[in-house]
Amino acid sequence: MAEPLVIVDDLHIVYKVYGAGGDRGTAATVLLRMIGRKTRGNIREVHAVRGLSFVANRGDAIGIIGRNGSGKSTLLRAIAGLLPPEKGNVYTNSQASLLGVNAALLDELTGERNVVLGCLAMGMSRAEVKAKYQDIVGFSGVGDFIDLPMKTYSAGMGSRLRFAIAASKTHEVLLIDEALATGDAEFRVKSHNRIEELRAAAGAVFLVAHELEEIELTCNRVIWMERGKIVTEGYDVITIVDQYIEASGGEPVLRDPVTRRRIKTSSMETAGA
Amino acid sequence: MTEPGGPSARPRARRTARSGTERAGRISAPGALAAGDVGVLSPDLNESLTDLAARYGLRPSAERPSPPRYVRELWQRRHFMLAFATAQNIAMYTNAKLGQLWQVLTPLLNVAVYWLIFGKILDTSRGIPDYIPFLVVGVFVFNFTQRSFISTSKVITDSLPLIRALQFPRAALPLAYVLIELQQMLIASVVMFVIILVSGEPITWYWLLFIPALLLQALFNAGIGMFVARVGAQLNDFSQLLPFLLRTWMYMSGVLFSLLTLAERGFRHPLIVKLLYINPAAIYITLIRLALLQKQRESAPGAAPYNKALCAKWPDVTINGVTHNYLYNSKYCMPVISPDLNWPLAAGWAVVAIVVGFFFFWRAETRYGRG
């Protein structure tokens, strides 16, 4: 039953930051370096992920929580194969698709061309693109803006279109990095449903979000990271989320004692179905 | 899972030494993973994670596909490359008032400047019959290679968002950029043909040779484009240096003057002249000039039997009361390299560029878009 799709084995990711001292560009320092025959000065290493191990199975929707800089996005990029491990390895059966807020496509081009290009780049045929085009545009809800260059889109519209493009293909492994944060309430419900579908289509989904409620609703499993390491990890999403909230000094969430769902305060009512 | 055993077997083979001893008897326990597990499957459980990955045919995510597979993936993205090239071509000029007209205006202005400086003011045209068509072909053909260089050197940095968002063989990007330049070159060619025809050049069957010559040049540009794309991605300072390299290359390739002048007029380093002759830009320019320009064909060294005396003589021709000293007799001269070698050299450069460029780019496949 449990078939591993992603295996993270003692993963270490190290960023090399050049010119950490901030004086990299001045002519004097460059000259001194050349005379001194020194290698590039001021390289600082940032150890972003330190020895992570876990197995993600088919059908898992894994939420990753943790403070800013705890290595969540780095982990996703390593799973997508965009960062080489310093040590350890990430194993996947197919190429994972990363969907992040910064994943702008080509700003100069219209939304329409971006849809076509994005789909072709994901390896679809022209016929498949044609077949899916209306669905993608409809799902993104950008409407008439589809004819305009993407640089004219609002942040929310852009991320909606990007999500729609990436979600049009059933990825075995889908990595979502805060991509839904900018969407409005209606879009969140839609994208939540789409993630459910993708998960049901027997893939694995990773979701990084600071909106903890989103993780409670979407994920069946959660990883809490701190300083590049796993603090806790497991299928009891709500308990871990509550622990995390407590550890970061937040207000405890009011929950229904039976269903353990959040008891909505009046300001949040609009978000529901 | 569609993969045949080849690539997926690799991690297993590499890692068995570490943990092969403890594997026996645990192979049959995939169910154990699911049974009430809390999730963490650290290496101290049943089997090592590398073995687990090998058993399910999972591969390192940052692994580079094998060259044949990479080529297959690229072929699969051919529609993407075409669509990307067309879209970029349109987007390139959206901010300019004259829009797409710049595709024609840029090469025209280039020709005008060179004609003014080198043809009129410095009189480099000396010795070259029909200087204008000669110059136009040189500028347009070199421009194709030059623009391919400049655009592919920035392709990785330009496309970072795309690279970070989607997985596809990265070589599709430099190839698409060369495709953009090929489209631009085809448009510019129309202008080139008009100028050539207006200056009185006859249309002959030789014109058909333009097509294979341009295709070989495009292949060469594609290969060199992949090479430059990697260099540009890993060395930011490269794009600062590139214009100087390209300008030097242009002056050495006989775009503005005839390399014949060097050969016949006292340039005393025959080896250097030979090297200039066989450099790829000069080869493609020569081939296209010979295809399109009759006077170039007729005065090409070797077109007539070698005759030392006639070769040394530059006949004077008076046009509009001014006497010019022309290279018309160069056909009696000994060619620097045999004209029979032009096509093999053009094809050879294209193949070398494609092979070297492809492997050089492919080797860094997993490192693009990082940082």
Residue with tokens 């340039």: B267
Encoded tokens for A93: 């059966």
Q: Is the pLDDT of residue B104 over 80?
A: no
Q: Is the pLDDT of residue B213 over 90?
A: yes
Q: Does B10 touch chain A (CB under 8 A)?
A: no
Torsion, Cα of B298, B303, B308, B313 (10° steps): 0
Out of B35, B55, B75, pick the residue that ends a domain: B55
Share of chain B above pLDDT 90, in %: 27
Nearest-CA distance A267 → chain B (Å): 34
Length of chain B: 371
Shared domain check, B129 and B275: yes
Q: Are A174 and A203 spatial neighbours (Cβ–Cβ below 8 Å)?
A: yes
Residues of chain A with pLDDT under 70: 1, 17-43, 95, 99-105, 179-183, 202, 264-273
Nearest Cβ partner for A102 among B62, B73, B164: B164
Rounded Cα gap, residues B319 and B322, in angstroms: 5
| Best A117, A122, A225 residue to mutate vs chain B (most B CBs within 10 Å) | A117
* Beta pairing, strands A87-92 & A204-208: unpaired
Q: Are B357 and B175 spatial neighbours (Cβ–Cβ below 8 Å)?
A: no
Shared domain check, B39 and B74: no
Shared domain check, B178 and B30: no
pLDDT top residue among A268 and B32: A268
Q: Is the pLDDT of residue B325 over 50?
A: yes
Q: Can you give the pLDDT at residue A18?
A: 62
Domain definitions of chain A by residue range: 4-19+46-96+171-271
Shared domain check, B71 and B12: no
| Best B19, B84, B166 residue to mutate vs chain A (most A CBs within 10 Å) | B166
Output the average pLDDT for chain B: 78
* Beta pairing, strands A61-65 & A204-208: parallel
Q: Is the pLDDT of residue B8 over 50?
A: no
Q: Can you give the pLDDT at residue A223?
A: 92
- Nearest-CA residue of chain A relative to B50? A9
Interface A–B counts its CB contacts (< 8 A) at 166
Q: Can you give the pLDDT at residue A21?
A: 53
Please count the other Cβ atoms lying within 10 Å of the Cβ belonging to residue B150: 17
Query: Which architecture does CATH list for A4-19+46-96+171-271?
Result: 3-Layer(aba) Sandwich (3.40)
Q: Which is it for the CA torsion B118, B124, B126, B131, positive or negative? A: negative
Q: Does B94 touch chain A (CB under 8 A)?
A: yes
| B60 lies in some domain | no
pLDDT tens sequence across B217-271: 999 999 999 999 999 988 878 888 899 999 999 988 888 777 776 666 656 677 8
Mean pLDDT to the nearest integer, B339-359: 93
- 8 Å CB contact of B63 and A125: no
Q: Can you give the pLDDT at residue A27?
A: 67
Starting from the edge strand earliest in sequence, which strands make up the sheet with A173-177, in order?
Answer: A97-100, A173-177, A204-208, A61-65, A221-226, A229-234
Q: Are A80 and A58 spatial neighbours (Cβ–Cβ below 8 Å)?
A: no
Q: Which of residues 54-73 of B touch A (CB under 8 A)?
A: 56-63, 73
Residue B149: band (very low, low, confident or very high) from pLDDT cuts 50, 70, 90? very high
pLDDT tens sequence across B38-61: 344 444 456 777 888 878 778 787
Shared domain check, B109 and B13: no
Q: Can you give the pLDDT at residue A142?
A: 82
- 8 Å CB contact of B61 and A95: yes
Read off the amino acid at residue B271: L
Rounded Cα gap, residues B33 and A177, in angstroms: 28
- 8 Å CB contact of B41 and A5: no
Which residues of A are less than 8 Å from B366 in CB distance? 81, 84
Give the burial class of A204: count Cβ atoms within 10 A of its Cβ; 0-12 exposed, 13-18 middle, 19 or more buried.
Answer: buried
- 8 Å CB contact of B166 and A122: yes
Shared domain check, B185 and B81: yes
Outline where DSSP puts E strands in B280-335.
Answer: 316-319, 322-325
Length of chain A: 273
Q: Can you give the pLDDT at residue B225?
A: 95
Mean pLDDT to the nearest integer, B152-175: 84
* Weakest-pLDDT range from B29-33, B254-258, B299-303, B364-368: B29-33
* Coil, strand or helix at B324: strand
| B98 lies in some domain | yes
Could you tell me which residues are beta bridge partners of residue A223? A64, A233
| B61 lies in some domain | no
Shared domain check, B102 and B32: no
| B320 lies in some domain | yes
Shared domain check, B109 and B21: no
Shared domain check, B87 and B30: no
Out of B32, B55, B78, pick the residue that ends a domain: B55
Domain range for B180: 67-367
Rounded Cα gap, residues B166 and A166, in angstroms: 8
Q: Is the pLDDT of residue B121 over 50?
A: yes
Residue B327: band (very low, low, confident or very high) from pLDDT cuts 50, 70, 90? low
Q: Can you give the pLDDT at residue B14?
A: 39
Nearest Cβ partner for A1 among B31, B58, B80: B31
Which residues of A are less than 8 Å from B367 in CB distance? 84
* Beta pairing, strands A4-17 & B322-325: unpaired
Q: Which of residues 38-97 of A touch B (CB under 8 A)?
A: 53-55, 57, 77-85, 89-93, 95-97
Q: Are A169 and A25 spatial neighbours (Cβ–Cβ below 8 Å)?
A: no
Q: Are B367 and B180 spatial neighbours (Cβ–Cβ below 8 Å)?
A: no
* Weakest-pLDDT range from A28-37, B92-101, B158-167: A28-37
Q: Can you give the pLDDT at residue A265?
A: 58
Q: Is the pLDDT of residue B350 over 80?
A: yes
Angle between helices B102-114 and B131-153 (to 10 degrees): 120
Q: Are A164 and A85 spatial neighbours (Cβ–Cβ below 8 Å)?
A: no
- Nearest-CA residue of chain B relative to A127? B79
Q: Can you give the pLDDT at residue B23?
A: 36
- Nearest-CA residue of chain B relative to A98? B165
Shared domain check, B73 and B45: no
Count structural domains, chain B: 2
Which residues of B are less than 8 Å from A121 in CB distance? 77, 80, 84, 162, 166, 168, 172
Torsion, Cα of B331, B336, B341, B345 (10° steps): -130
| B267 lies in some domain | yes
Shared domain check, B43 and B152: no
Residue B135: band (very low, low, confident or very high) from pLDDT cuts 50, 70, 90? confident
Q: Are A8 and B43 spatial neighbours (Cβ–Cβ below 8 Å)?
A: no
Q: Are A4 and B56 spatial neighbours (Cβ–Cβ below 8 Å)?
A: yes
Shared domain check, B174 and B33: no
Question: What is the H or E stretch that residue B72 is in?
Answer: helix B67-76
Tell me the H-state helices in B269-341.
270-278, 280-292, 294-299, 308-312
Nearest-CA distance B115 → chain A (Å): 35
**Residue B147: CB partners within 8 Å, gap ≥ 6?**
B181, B184
